[in-house]
Amino acid sequence: MGKKTLYKGFTLIDGNGGAPQENSYFVVEDKRITKVGKVEDLQATGNMEVVDLTRKYVMPGLINAHVHITLEPVGDPFGLINRESTAKTAVRGVVNLKKHLQAGTTFFRDLGAPAGIDFALRDAVNEGLIEGPQFLAAGKCISMTGGHGWSIGREADGVDEVRKAAREQLKAGADLLKIMATGGVTTPGVEPGSPQLTLEEMKAAVEEAHKAGKKTASHAQGTQGIKNAILAGIDSIEHGIFLDDETIELMLEHDVYLVPTLVAPYFIVEYGIEAGIPQYAVDKAKAVMDAHAESFTKAYKAGVKIAMGTDAGTPFNFHDGAPHELKLMVQAGMSPMDALVSSTKAGADLLGILDDYGTLEEGKFADFLVLNENPLDNLDTLLNLHSVYKLGKKVK
Ligand SMILES: [Zn+2]
């Protein structure tokens, strides 16, 4: 029998989207929640340690579905990572992990890192060598030659080579595959709207991932590329900047998640070339920002499944900034409760970890945030956390 801790008196937002429950409690034992209820129904508490959280709000830890833990959010992150040694980049990853955890992200998905650094970091966290959120790692993103993200990715052309690239990542330890369906904002000379890997190429990668029981995510900004990715069998569309009605219909039909990452172009435009962001990135971000928000709003209204992701590591998209994405989603028409669910339960569903994470229920891991205010009234309270618990241990 492990040590039991009773947390009590708080308003519980459990991640399922239902009404917050005042005066709640839960018991944590051996990293997991073993009992949840109302304080008035609380039986004998025996030899439990008691943590009184009266007047606080408790919700699941944030799950960020799109992070680049090895990227430093400077003006030109790709320039930096390609100049620096692999060892230095790995050190940055260690530091960035801590930032996510301290800011309330207790689980995330890394969507593209060079040299297997993400795998090493993931394993180091799981072994307890370093402190950070647990995460799923995609390894190198698979892009066409010269395509978006090529400088930290695995360039591959043609069905057979893409299949090989997919198998390489799986062999190296990838938890999922990241596939580039279109151009993007932060790579010079490629257009966000233009398709890149073909439908047939992506099909080969998706097939390899699914055979290995792994999921796939696609960087997909332009309409045709998004369609290609969906028809190839992708599990999530990342960014989804140019969604038309047909694409949204396809997403619903194929049960595909959207991970909008609204903050990515937002901060590029906010900071601009004065902050050292390359002109091409600022121009492209400006050109897509409105369409991005409109696409998000349309997809949300149509009932497309949405998981929160920030693309942290892109210019001035900081590793402790996930709450900004929630705020932008709400600004674009999402209800605050849906923004919380997209950042907890929906993220866990997309990542395939819902059995253990994403909601605060009996049997789940005790990854949770203690907040000073009701986040449904004020999302800014997520930027000023009272405390953070990871696997039942207070980490902030
Ligand atoms: Zn990304």
CA 239 / ligand 1 centre spacing (Å): 8
Residue 83 has pLDDT above 80, yes or no: yes
CA 2 / ligand 1 centre spacing (Å): 40
Query: For residue range 209-235, what is the model confidence (pLDDT) as tens digits?
Result: 999 999 999 999 999 999 999 999 999
In this structure, the answer to whether residues 69 and 100 fall within a common structural domain is yes
CA 164 / ligand 1 centre spacing (Å): 22
CA 377 / ligand 1 centre spacing (Å): 30
CA-to-CA separations, 150 to 9, 190, 246, in angstroms, rounded: 51, 11, 29
In this structure, the answer to whether residues 145 and 92 fall within a common structural domain is yes
CA 42 / ligand 1 centre spacing (Å): 45
In this structure, the answer to whether residues 17 and 122 fall within a common structural domain is no
User: Rounded to a whole number, what is the distance in angstroms from the first to the last CA of the chain?
Assistant: 26
In this structure, the answer to whether residues 337 and 217 fall within a common structural domain is yes
CA 218 / ligand 1 centre spacing (Å): 9
CA 12 / ligand 1 centre spacing (Å): 32
CA 141 / ligand 1 centre spacing (Å): 9
CA 212 / ligand 1 centre spacing (Å): 23
CA 181 / ligand 1 centre spacing (Å): 12
Q: What is the pLDDT of residue 46?
A: 81
Q: At how many degrees (to 10) do helices 199-211 and 223-232 cross?
A: 40
Q: What is the pLDDT of residue 214?
A: 98
The pTM of this model reads 0.98
Cβ contacts of 85 within 8 Å, gap of 6 or more: none
In this structure, the answer to whether residues 240 and 369 fall within a common structural domain is no
CA 174 / ligand 1 centre spacing (Å): 16
CA 384 / ligand 1 centre spacing (Å): 26
CB 279 within 8 A of CB 273: yes
CA 139 / ligand 1 centre spacing (Å): 12
CA 10 / ligand 1 centre spacing (Å): 36
CA 216 / ligand 1 centre spacing (Å): 13
Cβ contacts of 174 within 8 Å, gap of 6 or more: 119, 137, 138, 139, 214
Domain that includes residue 368, residue range: 4-60+358-394
CA-to-CA separations, 360 to 5, 16, 239, 363, in angstroms, rounded: 15, 9, 28, 9
Residue 1 has pLDDT above 70, yes or no: no
Instruction: Please tell me the total count of domains within the chain.
Output: 2
In this structure, the answer to whether residues 55 and 85 fall within a common structural domain is no
CA 110 / ligand 1 centre spacing (Å): 8
CA 68 / ligand 1 centre spacing (Å): 6
CA 246 / ligand 1 centre spacing (Å): 24
CA 335 / ligand 1 centre spacing (Å): 25
CA 333 / ligand 1 centre spacing (Å): 23
In this structure, the answer to whether residues 144 and 204 fall within a common structural domain is yes
Of residues 152, 163, 148, 151, the one with CA closest to residue 118: 152
Task: Identify the CATH number of the domain in which residue 20 sits.
Answer: 2.30.40.10
Over range 91-103, report the average pLDDT. 98
CA 111 / ligand 1 centre spacing (Å): 6
In this structure, the answer to whether residues 44 and 170 fall within a common structural domain is no
Task: Identify the CATH number of the domain in which residue 127 sits.
Answer: 3.20.20.140
CA 307 / ligand 1 centre spacing (Å): 14
Residue 288 to residue 294: CA distance in whole angstroms: 10
Residue 273 has pLDDT above 70, yes or no: yes
Of residues 59, 23, 49, the one with CA closest to residue 367: 59
Query: For residue range 298-339, what is the model confidence (pLDDT) as tens digits?
Result: 999 999 999 999 999 999 999 999 999 999 999 999 999 999
Query: For residue range 113-131, what is the model confidence (pLDDT) as tens digits?
Result: 999 999 999 999 999 999 9
CA 23 / ligand 1 centre spacing (Å): 40
Query: For residue range 54-77, what is the model confidence (pLDDT) as tens digits?
Result: 999 999 999 999 999 999 999 999
In this structure, the answer to whether residues 184 and 321 fall within a common structural domain is yes
In this structure, the answer to whether residues 121 and 9 fall within a common structural domain is no
Over range 189-208, report the average pLDDT. 95
Hunting for tokens 């992070």 — which residue is that? 67
Residue 134 to residue 358: CA distance in whole angstroms: 13
CA 371 / ligand 1 centre spacing (Å): 29
CA-to-CA separations, 119 to 46, 166, 171, 260, in angstroms, rounded: 42, 15, 11, 25
Residue 35 has pLDDT above 90, yes or no: yes
In this structure, the answer to whether residues 336 and 366 fall within a common structural domain is no
CA 18 / ligand 1 centre spacing (Å): 31
Residue 93 has pLDDT above 70, yes or no: yes
CA 247 / ligand 1 centre spacing (Å): 21
In this structure, the answer to whether residues 171 and 126 fall within a common structural domain is yes
The alpha carbon of 163 is separated from its chain's Cα centroid by a whole number of angstroms, namely: 25
